[in-house]
Amino acid sequence: MGKKPVVIGVAGGTGSGKTSVTKAIYEHFQGHSILMLEQDYYYKDQSRLPFEERLKTNYDHPLAFDNDLLIDHLHKLLNYEPIEKPVYDYALHTRSDKVIHVEPKDVIILEGILVLEDERLRNLMDIKLFVDTDADIRIIRRILRDIKERGRTIDSVIEQYVSVVRPMHNQFVEPTKRYADIIIPEGGQNHVAIDLMVTKIQTILEQNAIL
Ligand code: ADP
Ligand code: C5P
């Protein structure tokens, strides 16, 4: 069999620990050929919309994402071609005019609330993970993170959570759990799950004639 990168999808609700799981796997492979792709960076370009309009966007609906571009980039990386990855600004609610040049790697981790929702994305994945964390823990984490890192107020985070994030989670994110090969409770602190993942990725790399 020819050389082919391994694609791991990491889904789960907001604040579930997707980024922590992704980073934990990434750190195990440091020094190896691995890259992370964040579905959030592929929110549709809203730079032409006024800020007030961008505030009203539903960022938890599948249609908010430019999955066509994401899939195009994944195909390129699977062919060992480089991509120009968009950069997302959560404070301005849009893509920045900058891009990041990303060289292809042997392991690709794709992380985001809805990466398991699109069948085209699922079909490109070798391993599908769903990070499963209780909603009360997720909202507490999100409040702290969005205030500290995403330029939000506590009132705005709570209002958005109740009116949009929670219903969209129940409608679109939670049902994708059924597509997961592995459901990980406790996110990045689940060392057993992380170690299992690392072993599995190594096996696939061997099968794909990479190691
Ligand atoms: P996601 O990518 O699913 O939104 P993150 O991994 O970014 O979730 O975690 C959201 C926030 O919660 C971050 O600020 C992170 O530091 C924190 N966090 C994640 N996992 C834990 C944990 N097990 N214990 C405490 N805080 C955590
Ligand atoms: O990292 P996390 O999985 O929490 O990121 C997804 C969340 O980011 C979504 O629940 C969405 O509500 C939020 N988001 C936002 N503002 C944006 C883009 C995304 O609050 N401009």
Q: Is 59 in the pocket of ligand 2 (CB under 6 A)?
A: yes
Tell me which fold the domain 6-204 belongs to: Rossmann fold (3.40.50)
* Residue, of 25 and 30, whose pLDDT is higher: 25
- The number of beta carbons lying within 10 Å of the beta carbon of residue 204 is 19
Q: Is 113 in the pocket of ligand 2 (CB under 6 A)?
A: yes
Q: Which ligand is nearest to the CA of 39?
A: 2
Among the listed ranges 62-66, 103-107, 187-191, 205-209, which one has the minimum average pLDDT value? 205-209
Q: In testing the pocket of ligand 1, which one of 10, 18, 19, 20 has its CB within 8 Å of the most ligand atoms? A: 20
* Distance from residue 112's CA to the centre of ligand 1 (Å): 13
Give the residue-averaged pLDDT of 155-179: 98
Q: What's the rounded Cα separation, in Å, for the pair 200 and 195?
A: 9
Q: Write the residue with the smallest CA distance to atom 13 of ligand 2.
A: 59
Atom of ligand 2 nearest to the CA of 90: 21
> How far is CA 123 from its chain centroid?
16
- 128 touches 9 (CB < 8 A): yes
Residue-wise pLDDT tens digits, 64-114: 999 999 999 999 999 999 999 999 999 899 998 899 999 999 999 999 999
- 9 touches 129 (CB < 8 A): yes
- pLDDT at 28 > cutoff 70: yes
Residue 170: the pLDDT is 98
18 is in an annotated binding site: yes
The contacts of residue 129 (CB under 8 Å, 6+ apart) are: 8, 9, 10, 11, 12, 21, 180, 181, 182, 183, 184, 197
Atom of ligand 2 nearest to the CA of 38: 1
Q: Where are the domains of the chain?
A: 6-204
Q: What is the ipTM of this complex?
A: 0.96
188 is in an annotated binding site: no
Q: In testing the pocket of ligand 2, which one of 40, 115, 168 has its CB within 8 Å of the most ligand atoms? A: 40
* Distance from residue 185's CA to the centre of ligand 2 (Å): 21
17 is in an annotated binding site: yes
pTM here?
0.95
